[in-house]
Structure 1
Amino acid sequence: MRKLFLLFALLLTTVGFSQELNCTVAVIAQQTGNENNVVFKTLENQLNEFINNTKWTGKNFGAQERINCNMVINVNDYNNDSFSASLQVSSSRPVFNSTYSSPVYNYNDRNFNFQYLEFQNLVYNDNQFESNLISVLAFHVYMILGMDADSFELNGGDDYFEQAQTIASYSQQLNGQGWKLEDGLQSRFALIDNLMSPSFKDLRTTMYKYHIEGMDVMNEGAKEGKMKIIAALDELQKVHRVRPNSYVMRVFFDAKADEIMEILSGGPSVNITEATDILNKVAPMHSQKWRNIKY
């Protein structure tokens, strides 16, 4: 009987918590002047169900392993089934032996135009274009999965980034912005192209060392953790020498800048002069925050 109970419990765990994400999707339509239109709430409900109930990987995630993330869709305009919007995506990962969650991915996708009919079926296909709505959301899902995996294992996000690149490739058939080389240096194409390039391998090393060797030891040794974080950030100088002011570096600091400022401003005393010199060099767009680091 006990074996049967354990087997039943295991099945419940596998079925109930096999999905990877704990995602909150919000659709905001104030700029349309018609935010009470029921289509926006229907879209929001369908997207929450789609993101959280789709099986994105071949792995089973326990309830405590699901990645916390948010997607905020700001609709600027719509006409029948055509929507013009932007998308803000963010995710975080837990820090070992603490209640703190560290931001990992923070991306503002300004070119999010899509078509949607109320109650239409939302289906993701690994290797086939369905719609720009599905492609953009799936792309960011795999970016969330990849960034999270990179923070736990060196280059752990490879499979997820490869799938994001596949989505970018087959979505180029659409006129939607953000999928092609000619869409500029601040696009989905540029982001995944950068991450998959050997030129940025040291950024991915930083992602791993920052979290595993720095954040995850802070609760047991705050000073050691801070010094490891500074050492991890030093790796970014290698990237800066090869590709200064790169977009992927900006995406990294959009997620981490506030956290870095707070960590270096508090806790046990360490020499922050070297750290601020590094930060001003590799992330000058956040220079005001680096000036606010006081110790």
Structure 2
Amino acid sequence: MVRPVIFFILFSFFLAPHQVLSQQLNFTVTINSERAKTQDTDIFEKMKSAFEQFLNGRNWTDADLKPQERIKGNLLITINDMPQVGFFSATVQIQTVRPVFGSNYESLILNFADRNWTFEYTESQPLEFNQFSYLNNITSLLAYYAYITIGIDYDSFSPRGGDAFFEIANNIVANAQQSSNPGWNQNPSDKRNRYWLANDLYNSQVMVPVRDAYYLYHRKGLDLLTTKPEESYENIVEAIKMIQEANKVQPNSILTISFMDAKSDEISKILKGAPMELKQEAVEVLLKVDPNNARKYNDILKG
């Protein structure tokens, strides 16, 4: 499956007004409220339903996707504190997958931990969003990750195909900076927040090789694994080298970390079937880019 070309997104205003659009996301929201100081647990069920409806019930693009083609994801929200009624402090773990051509396998493509989200929520609260202005910290965060998710997915199907979506995510960050809420600002002591992820994806020339690696790894790597395995292995290793290229210039960037967090298990399993020369080449690079998973990568040489 190939995502519709970006042309139709940028020029959507030429579409006929009667055209029926379909949703693009299929997210499951899970809320862990064990730490919340409240007996009213029903609010979290309503919160889950409202958040899922916001993500899955609207059209983020003009892409006409069938239900089975929608981008699958999980959003785990852990409520860390509820200092007063209606106010919440939470962490968010977002994971999304991408189908691999010619198989039933779904590849984890985004695995990102957002450690600092504060928001206000009351039951039956309408969740309104405007990409051109900041309305609240709920819809800004959910919309931000919707566009990040779609952008990375599009990057994996066409070279830098996610540009238009990363631009919107970057604008959401800029609009949200007027608020006092954490995670949106250029904080040098916290380079793993929303600002830096959007910056790496949209503004940073240093990180362009990582974006190109998404395409090479998935479209020219995983998607060819069953039909052209040798070419697939070569492209996967080349994609890893591109990650190393960016990491040399900007070590431990959030985009590099996010890529490896999503791919380390998969890489260690898939490359066990590669020729030994490619295995050795890949492991040498992986140990430099992601030394925390050294044991996992050294196992590639055993398989």
- Does the pair score TM above 0.5? yes
Deviation at 1:178, TM superposition (A): 0.8
Deviation at 1:278, TM superposition (A): 0.5
Q: For residues 56-67 of structure 1, what are the structure 2 equivalents within 5 Å?
A: 56-67=60-71
Q: What TM-score, normalized to structure 2?
A: 0.88
Structure 2, unaligned runs of 5 or more:
1-18
2:185 pairs with 1:173: no
1:159 alignment counterpart: 164
Q: Distance in 1 between matches of 2:293 and 2:172?
A: 31
2:109 pairs with 1:104: yes
Deviation at 1:60, TM superposition (A): 2.1
Deviation at 1:240, TM superposition (A): 2.1
2:147 pairs with 1:123: no
- Picking from 48, 51, 65, the partner of 1:47 is 51
Q: What is the letter of the counterpart of residue 169 of structure 2?
A: A
Q: What is the letter of the counterpart of residue 264 of structure 1?
A: L
- Picking from 219, 240, 244, the partner of 1:237 is 244
Q: Deviating runs (4+, > 6 A) in structure 1?
A: none
Q: What is the letter of the counterpart of residue 186 of structure 1?
A: R
Q: What TM-score, normalized to structure 1?
A: 0.90
Deviation at 1:276, TM superposition (A): 0.6
Q: Would you say how many aligned residue pairs link Structure 1 and Structure 2?
A: 280
Range that drifts further, 178-187 or 95-104: 178-187
Q: For residues 1-20 of structure 1, what are the structure 2 equivalents within 5 Å?
A: 15=20, 18-20=22-24
Deviations 1:189-220 (A, max 9, x none): 11111122111111111110001111001111
Q: What is the letter of the counterpart of residue 227 of structure 1?
A: E
> SS at 1:170's partner residue?
helix
Q: Distance in 2 between matches of 1:35 and 1:148?
A: 39
- Picking from 200, 206, 211, the partner of 1:199 is 206
Q: 1:275–1:268: structure 2 CA closer, same or farther, 3 Å change rule?
A: closer
1:86 alignment counterpart: 91
Q: Distance in 2 between matches of 1:106 and 1:35?
A: 32
Deviation at 1:33, TM superposition (A): 5.6
2:15 alignment counterpart: none
Q: Distance in 2 between matches of 1:264 and 1:70?
A: 26
Q: What is the letter of the counterpart of residue 199 of structure 2?
A: D
Structure 1, unaligned runs of 5 or more:
1-13
Q: What is the letter of the counterpart of residue 245 of structure 1?
A: N
Deviations 1:229-249 (A, max 9, x none): 112211223212211222210
Alignment root-mean-square deviation, CA: 1.6
- Picking from 134, 137, 142, the partner of 1:132 is 137
Q: Distance in 2 between matches of 1:274 and 1:35?
A: 56
1:190 alignment counterpart: 196
Q: Distance in 1 between matches of 2:93 and 2:226?
A: 31
Deviation at 1:288, TM superposition (A): 3.0
2:39 pairs with 1:32: no
Q: Distance in 2 between matches of 1:171 and 1:104?
A: 26
Q: Is the 8 A contact 1:29 1:35 kept in 2?
A: no
Q: What is the letter of the counterpart of residue 139 of structure 1?
A: Y
Q: Distance in 1 between matches of 2:266 and 2:40?
A: 36
Q: For residues 202-281 of structure 1, what are the structure 2 equivalents within 5 Å?
A: 202-265=209-272, 267-271=273-277, 272-281=279-288
Percent identical pairs in the alignment equals: 35
Name the structure with the higher helix share.
1
Q: Distance in 2 between matches of 1:43 and 1:251?
A: 27
> SS at 2:206's partner residue?
helix
> SS at 1:136's partner residue?
helix
Q: Distance in 2 between matches of 1:41 and 1:225?
A: 44
Q: Distance in 2 between matches of 1:98 and 1:181?
A: 41
Q: Is the 8 A contact 1:103 1:255 kept in 2?
A: yes
> SS at 1:41's partner residue?
helix
Deviation at 1:287, TM superposition (A): 2.2
Q: Distance in 1 between matches of 2:39 and 2:265?
A: 32
